Structure 1
Amino acid sequence: MKSWQIVRLVAGTFVLFSLALGVQGSPIFVSQWWLAFTAFVGANLLQSALTQWCLMETILRKFGVECGC
């Protein structure tokens, strides 16, 4: 997998997991504060789209993951 694919995979997983923990109808509901994490992930995706820079992608490249740009 290339770094951009891993970033999208992790972001999508984080969003779905935090929604499951933050929505009251969910069987694994913990607290509505988990929705703040969902917003944080979304804000980071927006920021990376506008600035063309993503911290996670930079870290993945340092670990030797191929860019795929």
Structure 2
Amino acid sequence: MNLDRAVLRFAGFIVLVSVVLAWFVHPYWIALAAFAGLNLIQASFTGFCPAAMLFKRLGVRSGTVFR
């Protein structure tokens, strides 16, 4: 798995967890999904992604988008 796939997989996981928490715990958990979406949008413009930096430190090999 490369860094790009790891970031996308992590973002998808966060969105799904947010939806489940919003359904079963409290509707305000949907803000977590909004945060993940906004982070993906800003990363597409700037190339800066905190999750990509974390995964890179954990040893995930680079992809084509996040280096």
Normalised by the size of structure 1, how large is the TM-score?
Answer: 0.83
RCO (CA 8 Å, sep 6+): is it higher in 1 or 2?
2
Cα distance, 1:63 vs. partner?
2.0
| Counterpart-to-counterpart distance in 1, 2:8 and 2:45 | 16
Q: Tell me which of 45, 48, 62 is aligned to 1:53.
A: 48
| Counterpart-to-counterpart distance in 2, 1:49 and 1:57 | 12
Question: Which residue matches 1:26?
Answer: none
Q: In the alignment, residue 62 of structure 1 is paired with which amino acid?
A: R
Bigger fraction of residues in helix = 2
Give the aligned length. 64
Of all paired residues, the percent bearing the same amino acid is: 36
Alignment RMSD, CA only? 1.1
Normalised by the size of structure 2, how large is the TM-score?
Answer: 0.85
Structure 1 residues not aligned, in runs of 5+: 24-28
Question: Which residue matches 2:6?
Answer: 6
